[in-house]
Amino acid sequence: MPHGYHRAQRLVPCDEDSNGLYEGPGERRDGRPVHGRRCLVVCALGASIVHDDPDGNNTLPAEAETMCRDLSLASEARIGSKKESSSLSRPSETQTLSASQHSKPSAIAGPSTATEQSMIDVLEKRRGTGLVFPTEFIPPSSTIKPTELFLGKATYARLTRYIHRSDPRCILIFTDGACLNNGKANPRAGWALVHGPGFTGQPAQVASGRLENKGPYGDAGIQSNNRAELRAVIAALRLRHWTVEGFNNIVIATDSEYVAIGATQWVKAWVKNGWRTSGKEEVKNKDLWEALLGEVERWQAEGLSIQFWRIRREWNKDADAAAKKAAQEPEA
């Protein structure tokens, strides 16, 4: 578990090793002893669960998963009753069914602390200036799948993350956008991101929403596939206080060339040319590009780097399906 989370929660683990596991004897909630390596998991209600972790993979067994789910029922109901709209201030986190069996998403546990909640809610909509740019993520091979390099692991508060297999402070988030009737009459766009695989046998953790008719700074915006793709990235960067969770690098996985190449290459020239293309035309979706760069600059100041990995379309099916479903929702 990322060390930053323990600090944020005022937890002082004993005999912590480099992997966030704990050595030596201890006991379970029912009083049974725990020998060898064990892992601390904090649920949505703030209750800690210690479980055996002989393999050191920091994942929850079925017993601990059930305990987390049971402890979180009241929290889920409370959060569900206070569910906010999916504005740029903070998109809600939802669970969805598989790509072929989507239903109305239900709320799951939100930010784990009052501090984290308040910090996300008060984030201003910052315009990026080109002070910092995202970089391209280079995988070890062109054929390796994101879920082979970033393994699904449990963290806390019923959350799971795609965590780099050799860097526990680096996570991956899948993003995508979709637009029905893109470029035609009556277009309807939606965005989605997948920020965790879910527990064993459970659906992935997804946040999604209908694309707003106004941009982040109040300007009118069209419903388009490209805007929805950018909106998904901005939502991913604003979803959680990632440094509080202990991470220092986020890899955005997208099958969109417009987003991946645009964010790491084209935008540099656009900023240098006063947001003009090489053909001297105004850059489309400038407001969302500025918002994206603003998030990159904000996180850079907190020690979090943003990278983009352009992946194959077939590797992004969950985010794609959720974005298409969100495009069918009422106007935002």
Indicate the residue type of 252.
I
Q: At what angle do helices 225-238 and 317-326 cross, to 10 degrees?
A: 110
> Where do the structural domains in the chain lie, given as residue ranges?
3-71, 83-326
Q: What are phi and psi of 5, to 5 degrees?
A: -65, -40
Query: Right CATH number for 83-326 from 3.40.190.10, 3.40.47.10, 3.40.50.150, 3.30.420.10?
Result: 3.30.420.10
- Cβ within 8 Å of residue 118, ≥6 positions away: none
Q: What is the pLDDT at residue 332?
A: 74
Q: Is 274 left (phi over 0), alpha (psi -120 to 50) or beta?
A: left
Q: What are phi and psi of 169, to 5 degrees?
A: -100, 10
Cα 292-180-328 angle, rounded to 5 deg: 90
In angstroms, the CA 107 to CA 93 distance is 6
List CB contacts of 300: < 8 A, sequence separation 6 or more. Answer: 131, 132, 306
Return averaged pLDDT per consecutive 10 residues of the chain, 332 residues in all. Answer: 41 35 40 42 34 41 40 31 34 30 30 40 82 97 97 85 97 98 96 94 93 94 97 97 95 98 98 95 97 97 98 98 97 80
| 3-state secondary structure labels for all residues of the chain | CCHHHHHHCCCCCCCECCCCCECCCEECCCCCEECCCEEEEECCCCCEEEEECCCCCCCCCHHHHHHHHHHCHHHHHHHHHCCCCCCCCCCCCEECCCCCCCCCCEECCCCCCHHHHHHHHCCCCCCCCCCCCCEECCCCCCCCCHHHHEEEEECCCCCEEEEECCEEEEEEEEEEEEEECCCCCCCEEEEEEEEECCCCCCCCEEEEEECCCECCCCCECCCCHHHHHHHHHHHHHHCCCCCCCCCCEEEEEECCHHHHHHHHHHHHHHHHCCCECCCCCECCCHHHHHHHHHHHHHHHHCCCEEEEEECCHHHHHHHHHHHHHHCCCCCC
pLDDT of amino acid 123: 72
**Maximum pairwise Cα distance, the chain:** 71
